[in-house]
Amino acid sequence: MKKIILLIAAVFISANIFCQTANPSEYHYQRCSLFEVLPITSTDIVFLGNSITDGCEWHELFNNANIKNRGISADRTYWILERLDPIIKGKPRKLFVQTGTNDLGAGHSPQSIAENLTKLVERFQAESPQTELYIQSIFPVNDSFEKYAKRQASKDKEIVETNKLLKDMCAEKGITFVDVYSKLADENGKLNKEYTNDGLHLMGQGYLIWKKVLDDFFD
């Protein structure tokens, strides 16, 4: 019995270390390399985030050639912090950030997400103060779908907690918090099944709901 307990403890510790130190994928570095050679200008609107951002054709959705997609599938807040330079250098007109769900799935706390996004905001406010900043809520998930069920199980409360921290941070920093969560959630706080086919990512109708929320912030 003692050996079994020690084995379980070792597995748990190893898993936790992996969550904290896992490296970005080859795809991450491919996208970063591309973004480093694609210029951002002061007339651009940048969408920054993970796979949910990566998966949309934003310039088509808004019929706006000045929208640039800087999403990378599987990205996390601390990796995003490491790839801000090409965006800040371009001093875009607007920046829409949507990220955090992968951090929670990897075992990171709501507080760590808020801290990382605070660092992001502070960098832009110091180095590109003319950029209008929009921090979007983490979206609900739905663990009734098998694919991401284990990773996203019991994350509902953490998502709500993180969104509250992000809203408070935005108020403190004088920037805009965008609540997309409430438009995508069902009556149980889960990602509405009409907008997803895996419990995490959005289908076309989900992106249309997202766009409708963001329309108020476009001029």
Q: What is the pLDDT of residues 182-211, one digit of tens each?
A: 999 999 999 999 999 999 999 999 999 999
Whether 19 maps to a domain, the answer reads: no
Whether 10 maps to a domain, the answer reads: no
Q: What is the pLDDT of residues 49-98, one digit of tens each?
A: 999 999 999 999 999 999 999 999 999 999 999 999 999 999 999 999 99
Whether 9 maps to a domain, the answer reads: no
- CATH number of the domain within which 164 lies: 3.40.50.1110
**What distance lies between CA 76 and its chain's CA centroid?**
7
Whether 16 maps to a domain, the answer reads: no
Whether 80 maps to a domain, the answer reads: yes
CA distance 155 to 92: 33
Whether 207 maps to a domain, the answer reads: yes
pTM for the full model? Answer: 0.89
Domain that holds residue 49: 25-217
Q: What is the pLDDT of residues 127-179, one digit of tens each?
A: 999 999 999 999 999 988 888 767 666 799 999 999 999 999 999 999 999 99
- Domains identified in the chain, total number: 1
Nearest to 72 by CA among 119, 125, 141, 25: 25
Residues with Cβ within 8 Å of residue 109, at least 6 apart in sequence: 158
**What distance lies between CA 118 and its chain's CA centroid?**
14
